[in-house]
């Protein structure tokens, strides 16, 4: 059993419902996704927010961070709709918008700041699930203005940005599956959508990996199996002041990702047992 997959005794439908975005007219302060390809100033302003949050990023780093964040936050809204059986066909970049605000969170007793993204979409009704190939084309169309605009603004290649979109969407499906206790179903759905050859979302580097921490290595005395996502792209985290110049644990540039994943499981297990962590 995974530390992340411990049963929460929640109805998965309630978990997916909690992830649903606002649906209806866009707020006056929202950045419309279609505007990102029409107005480079809109991309510059959004990238400047990333720089205020992560001082030290260059233009490419700001663009990567922006697309990485939107890929996950919009992806989480899309995953919530898809996994709860909504018809996503009404969605398009003209009726999809985001707002951003600096917020504070806490993890392992440490406070941190992040950009909280509000997502507003066109109304979607419960219906039969769309075919994965249809969803792949819909997701591609939804993110195309973002990729085009940010690439022009920061000079990072469209291919690199598309890999970050794929990373964001895949992480959103995995995280929602963990929260709902339906990891394998959520991962299977994500793979069916994102592994559609012929769309810009397809990235051969993307992989979901089950990692086992044997009971003998776990101070809690139980075997743990957890699903991780191996990223297709690089969000340029190594440029931030927090990184000490190192890549994140799931970065495509890492050659030791399975071992890093196992060590992160051991780290959390040791903390849960009241022992010092290893990072």
112-145 pLDDT, tens per residue? 778 899 999 999 988 877 899 999 999 999 999 9
Q: Cβ–Cβ contacts within 10 Å for residue 245, how many?
A: 8
Average pLDDT over residues 45-53: 92
CA–CA distances in Å: residue 245 to residues 68, 104, 141, 242: 19, 24, 34, 8
Which has the closest alpha carbon to 133: 194, 48, 178, 63?
194
Q: With 90 as the cut, is the pLDDT of residue 211 above it?
A: yes
- The mean pLDDT of the chain is 91
pLDDT at 5: 41
**pTM of the prediction?**
0.90
Query: If pLDDT is split at 50, 70 and 90, which confidence band does 9 have?
Result: very low
Contact 30, 117 (CB under 8 A): no
């Amino acid at each position: 059993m995974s530390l992340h997959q411990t049963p929460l005794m929640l109805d998965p439908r309630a978990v997916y419902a909690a992830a649903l975005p606002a649906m209806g007219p866009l707020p006056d302060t929202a950045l419309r996704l279609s505007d990102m390809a029409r107005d480079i100033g809109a991309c510059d302003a959004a990238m400047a927010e990333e720089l205020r949050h992560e001082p030290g990023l260059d233009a490419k780093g700001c663009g990567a961070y922006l697309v990485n964040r939107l890929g996950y936050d919009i992806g989480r809204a899309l995953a919530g709709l898809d996994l709860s059986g909504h018809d996503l066909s009404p969605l398009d970049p003209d009726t999809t918008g985001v707002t951003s605000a600096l917020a504070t969170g806490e993890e392992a007793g440490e406070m941190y700041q992040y950009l909280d993204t509000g997502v507003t979409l066109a109304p979607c009704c419960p219906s039969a699930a769309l075919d994965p190939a249809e969803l792949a084309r819909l997701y591609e169309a939804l993110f195309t203005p973002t990729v085009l605009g940010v690439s022009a603004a920061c000079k990072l290649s469209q291919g690199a940005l598309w890999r970050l979109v794929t990373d964001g969407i895949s992480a959103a499906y995995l995280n929602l599956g963990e929260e709902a206790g339906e990891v394998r179903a959520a991962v299977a759905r994500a793979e069916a959508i994102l592994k559609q050859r012929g769309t810009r979302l397809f990235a051969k580097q993307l992989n979901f990996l089950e990692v086992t921490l044997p009971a003998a290595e776990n101070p809690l005395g139980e075997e743990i199996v957890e699903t991780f996502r191996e990223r297709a792209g690089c969000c340029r985290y190594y440029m931030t002041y927090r990184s000490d110049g190192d890549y994140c644990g799931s970065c495509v540039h890492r050659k030791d990702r399975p071992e890093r994943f196992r060590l992160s499981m051991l780290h959390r297990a040791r903390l849960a047992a009241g022992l010092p962590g290893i990072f």
